[in-house]
Amino acid sequence: MRRFILSVLAVFAFATINAQNCSELFISAYVEGYGNNRALELYNPTANAIDLSGYSVGRFSNGETQFRSVQLPADMIQPYGNYVIVLDKRDSLGTGLETPVWNGYQLYDTCFDAVSGQPILDSDGNVVNCVQYNANGLHLYGTVYNDFLDLQGRADVFLCPVYNTNNAMYFNGNDAVALISGTTVAGDGSNIIDVVGVIGEDPGDAWTNATGLWITKDKTLVRKPTVEKGTGALISTFGDTLAYNDWEIYSKNTFTVIDDQHDCTCDPNYTNTQPINVIDFNVYPNPTNGTFVVEAEERINRVEVYNMVGQIVYNNSTFNSERVNVQLNTINKGIHIVKIYFDNDSVAVQKLVVNK
């Protein structure tokens, strides 16, 4: 671990040392879930296998500039392959700070309201299930395996079993998490490859999007396929911010999205398998004079509008609702395409006629 102070020269270092696209490892997924459900996924966007012992991961805690790091083992990450690092908490009897990482056998049954004692229902009136605990906070286990509850089984390595020995993987939503080359941060920060969050900034509970939605707390994040390199150093002194639009954002304890292979356009065999038009949505009025409403059964994250030559004429990612209002202030008359992005990583498109 090492404390470092960034100088003005660091600005030039970042500009010259920051990796080119598809040339260096980066963080492809981040898990900040219940208890000790903590994980990072690394991705190799190159055509060559990489020895991970030349890298470390860790955290800058609560706005600090001290890097709490752990060196990765001498494992090889294959070309266009991913590697999942999970906090080493595998004792099924652990409680408190030793709460185990979920292994898929946690008892999963009806959730009850702590005050009323009644089953918790979702917005459609269906009973909500959740992982069960006894009165002492100990996990209850069953004989049924649920893949969606299994983070342990997705690990390539378990790190940091003892907090007081090394707490690099015990990150929370207000800790900047980083991947570096080597074992300590250089004095100018030039070997910082990727950061989730912003170094030297304490965001409170978590970094958020434009509408205040938590991004780094109680969330699983997956880098979008179009991201081909890490951020380099993100430093609060320089006014850097978390580029949340580079991530697909999933709810707490979503583990299935880090299964198998990370999708990235660096991979020459990558094929876009993003589901299209799985979710219905309505646009009205259509035709429109430039103002319209979008409604869907799922929460809308982003709305884009393209003209017929493929140019984007509207892009708003501040939405967080099933019903949004769109105002196209300057747009030409004619046929356009509306593209909607939803929480579940699906998109939908529809034709829009502008008649003003």
Both 161 and 12 in one domain: the answer is: yes
Number of structural domains the chain divides into: 2
For 224, the token pair is 């979008």
Both 12 and 76 in one domain: the answer is: yes
Confidence (pLDDT) at 27: 98
349 falls in which pLDDT band (50, 70, 90)? confident
Buried b (16+ CB within 10 A) or exposed e, 107-142: bbeeeeeeeeeeeeeeeeeeeeeebbeeeeeebeee
Which residues, including other chains, have CB under 8 Å from residue 311's CB and lie 6 or more apart?
none
Average pLDDT over residues 82-108: 94
Structural domain contains residue 129: no
Both 301 and 228 in one domain: the answer is: no
Both 238 and 302 in one domain: the answer is: no
Both 286 and 249 in one domain: the answer is: no
CB 108 within 8 A of CB 142: yes
Range of the domain at 308: 281-354
Both 253 and 197 in one domain: the answer is: yes
CB 68 within 8 A of CB 168: yes
Both 169 and 295 in one domain: the answer is: no
57 falls in which pLDDT band (50, 70, 90)? very high
> CA 129 to CA 108: how far, in whole Å?
6
Both 253 and 285 in one domain: the answer is: no
Structural domain contains residue 116: no
Average pLDDT over residues 11-28: 70
Domain CATH number, residue 350: 2.60.40.1220
Average pLDDT, the chain: 88
Confidence (pLDDT) at 6: 46
Confidence (pLDDT) at 273: 59
Per-residue pLDDT tens over the stretch 199-228? 999 999 999 988 888 999 999 999 999 899
> CA 217 to CA 32: how far, in whole Å?
6
275 falls in which pLDDT band (50, 70, 90)? low
Structural domain contains residue 125: no
CB 298 within 8 A of CB 322: yes
Cis peptide, bond prior to residue 285, ω within 30 of zero: yes
Both 75 and 205 in one domain: the answer is: yes
Question: Which has more pLDDT, 18 or 247?
Answer: 247
Structural domain contains residue 73: yes
> CA 275 to CA 348: how far, in whole Å?
8
Structural domain contains residue 121: no
Among residues 258, 290, 319, the one where a domain terminates is 258
Average pLDDT over residues 292-300: 88
Structural domain contains residue 276: no
Both 285 and 159 in one domain: the answer is: no
> CA 49 to CA 338: how far, in whole Å?
41
Both 186 and 305 in one domain: the answer is: no
Structural domain contains residue 59: yes
The CA-to-CA distance between both ends of the chain, in Å, stands at 61
Place of tokens 């004095």: 187
Among residues 225, 258, 291, the one where a domain terminates is 258
10 falls in which pLDDT band (50, 70, 90)? very low
Confidence (pLDDT) at 13: 40
Confidence (pLDDT) at 276: 62
DSSP class of residue 215? Answer: S
Structural domain contains residue 101: no
Confidence (pLDDT) at 274: 60
Per-residue pLDDT tens over the stretch 24-53? 999 999 999 999 999 999 999 999 999 999
Asked if residue 11 has pLDDT above 60, the reply is: no
Q: How far is CA 222 from CA 41, 93, 247, 252, 261, in A?
A: 9, 30, 5, 13, 12
Per-residue pLDDT tens over the stretch 133-180? 988 889 999 999 999 999 999 999 999 999 999 999 999 999 999 999
Ranking 7-11, 235-239, 312-316, 332-336 by mean pLDDT, the lowest is 7-11
Both 40 and 183 in one domain: the answer is: yes
